[in-house]
Amino acid sequence: MKTRYTFGGDEHIYVEIDEEMSLDAFFKSLSMSTAVRDANIPGVTEICPANASFQVKFDPDVTHPEDMLKRVKELEHMADSAEKRLSTRIVEIPVYYQDPWTQECVMRFRERHQDPSGTDLDYAARINGYDSVEAFIEAHHSQPWFVSMVGFVAGLPFLYQLVEREKQIQVPKYLRPRTDTPKLTVGYGGCFSCLYSVRGAGGYQMFGISPMPIYDPEQQVSYLKDFLVFFKPGDIVKWKPIDRAEYDRVTAAVEAGTYTPRIAEVDFDLEEFNADMAGTNEKLMEALNGA
Amino acid sequence: MALKINKPGLSTSVQDLGRPGYFHLGIPISGAMDRFALRAANLLVGNPEGAAGLEAVFMGPEIEFTEDAIVAVTGAEMPITIDGEAVEGWTSFTVKSGQTLAFGFLKTGARIYIAVSGGIATDPDLGSRSTYPIGALGGVDGRPIAQGDVIPSGQGIVGKAGLSVPTDLRRGPTNPAELRVLPGLYWNRLTEAAGNGFFEDTWIVAPEADRMGYRFKGGRPLEFVDREQPFGAGADPSNIVDGCYSYGSIQVPGGTEPIVLHRDAVSGGGYFTLGAIISADMDFIGQLQPNTPVRFVKVDMDEALAARTSRREALQKIRKDLT
């Protein structure tokens, strides 16, 4: 990993922990973001951790940009020595793969796609070497995912799969971004899965849809009454494949205010995970299934 | 007091100085595209500078007042009338109960700011009244205003009519417009020739120019330094591992059409950015009309901070004059 510091105009410092994505880069980004927040540097207004980078927004009238850069750089060694361990939660998110709504959208934007002859799932399965869409879908949901960034639009999680790099799925983004994406579409771009929190533009490949809202500005949804955004970096997600009947049942339960996501409190230790991925994931799943 | 919206204009929204603090959740700062103009409008009517007003783009709304109010309109140049009688921009005036504020065709600039004494009093979301339509936050039900809306405003006339912002302080964009850029972020991805070309070419504002971002066309496509794309970024040389976007940062998907990210921009994504418009010039972007020629001008940090200081001093002069 090689950390690179740069300015984003006169109001931002952008720190790229690494050019490529890894959980090591994520943990360092998160630790440094936390260190910057704890340092209470005068003039800092926003700290935004991302997958393998983070950004600090500040008022240059309060602290000169060069001084701010120096202060942030000084915190790098603290992140290096920080424990790469999180107390977090694992959440089960139901997904209706190959649903009619994202498939309609897939067909509507075919001319913006690398391979207009098939669907996003056909394409993703083929370029990742899977024999069938079903086998590809299985690979997408069989192991848990890590929320490595929240953003793009309100409350959208970027997810990184907890598997060896050679098992990571990679797909390109659409050639030209779409102007529409159904709300709660499960998307894929680069090595990241995402869950579109709201309807709108998007460039990720579309695989399915979830009935479980993750952003509610009205705060009517039972599990979003305390805060309008569901996810935060470090959350762990397990997709659960569902069919149309289950989709409809969950949707009705959400509307009735009776839906409760399955969630378990867990600890995640990066070193332990790197040493034994299968064993760590098994423990995560045990905790979830016991919830 | 309330404002009855007889005609909403093109895309008129409630805006204040924005909603900082939620960027890490994908919720942008939002707020007035031209903060200077909103602050000036508020100062003219005796409001706190950060009170909410209306931002209208290209076409003004038609508003009927239910009580007497002091009103000011700043920003773009657009004829202003009260029951058909012309009034001046950048100057406070009285609107009587039952009278209608309306606007003629846009002359220069793109966005006007309408401040009313007492401020727009819709319910704030996450500490701000700014409208952010994608997240359905702020404004009227999280959307731009519509015909028939009745918008509440604060009580009581505190300002006085006839105050005016001196002409030399009402600075808008020049033509061709110049936007100052501090190179940085992923500037290292560009070849030296591409970096120079970006500043040599004349660009024009594309039709896709809104609160999320301004797109520019007409310059040469950018070329990237060869590299093997890093794991997780995506195959195109303009792709990066998704990161945060700075306000004012200039992303160039595919290396062809630069997009300057503005107040309602997405908070992050997977396209490289070559630097950012300096904070002092962000207000001007929102006043650019489509097809306006634009030159990007390279500056260093000292110049960026000097420009910021001069912008702050201009605002300070208005404060001193009006309060």
Which residue of chain B is at minimal alpha-carbon distance from A151? B26
Looking at every residue in chain B, the average pLDDT score rounds to: 95
Per-residue pLDDT reduced to its tens digit, B241-277: 999 999 999 999 889 999 999 999 999 999 999 999 9
Q: Which residue type, as a one-letter code, is found at position B17? A: L
- Contact (CB, 8 A) for B253 and B259: yes
Percentages of chain B per state (helix, strand, coil), in multiples of 5: 20, 35, 45
pLDDT confidence bin for A175, thresholds 50/70/90: confident
CB contact under 8 A, A10 and B125: no
Residue limits of CATH 3.30.1360.40 in chain A: 4-82
Can you tell me the mean pLDDT for A258-275?
97
Region B217-235: mean pLDDT is 94
CB contact at 8 A, A31 and A23: no
Interchain proximity B246–A57, CB inside 8 Å: yes
Q: Please give the domain boundaries of chain B with CATH numbers for all domains.
A: 2-169 (no CATH), 177-312 (2.40.100.10)
Mean pLDDT of the region B214-237: 94
As annotated, the residues of chain A forming the CATH 2.40.100.10 domain(s) are 87-290
Distance (Å, whole) CA B237 – CA A266: 38
Q: What is the pLDDT of residues B14-52, one digit of tens each?
A: 999 999 999 999 999 999 999 999 999 999 999 999 999
B95, B89, B130: which is closest to B112 by C-alpha?
B89
Q: Does A7 touch chain B (CB under 8 A)?
A: yes
Averaged pLDDT, B199-212: 96
Bridge partners of residue A205, in order along the sequence: A188
Architecture of domain A4-82: 2-Layer Sandwich (3.30)
Give per-residue pLDDT as tens, A205-214: 999 999 999 9
User: Looking at chain B, which residue has its C-alpha nearest residue A189?
Assistant: B234
The label of the residue with tokens 């240059």 reads A60
Strands of chain A, DSSP E = 4-8, 12-16, 44-49, 53-58, 85-97, 145-150, 157-161, 185-189, 192-195, 205-209, 236-241, 263-269
Structure confidence at residue A245 as a pLDDT band (50, 70, 90): very high
Q: What is the pTM of this model?
A: 0.95
Neighbours of A273 (CB within 10 A): 18
Q: Taking residues A84-105, what's their average pLDDT?
A: 97
pLDDT at A180 over 90: yes
B249 contacts A9? CB cut-off 8 A: yes
Chain A positions touching B233 (Cβ under 8 A) are 19-21, 190
A185 neighbors A202 (Cβ within 8 angstroms):
yes
* Helix, coil or strand: residue B6: strand
CATH superfamily, domain at A87-290: Cyclophilin-like (2.40.100.10)
Determine the pLDDT at residue A83: 87
- Judge residue B48's burial from the number of C-beta atoms within 10 Å of its C-beta, 0-12 exposed, 13-18 middle, 19 or more buried: exposed
pLDDT in tens, B228-247: 999 999 888 999 999 999 99
A101 touches chain B (CB under 8 A): no
Angle at B99 between CA B98 and CA B100, to 5 degrees: 125
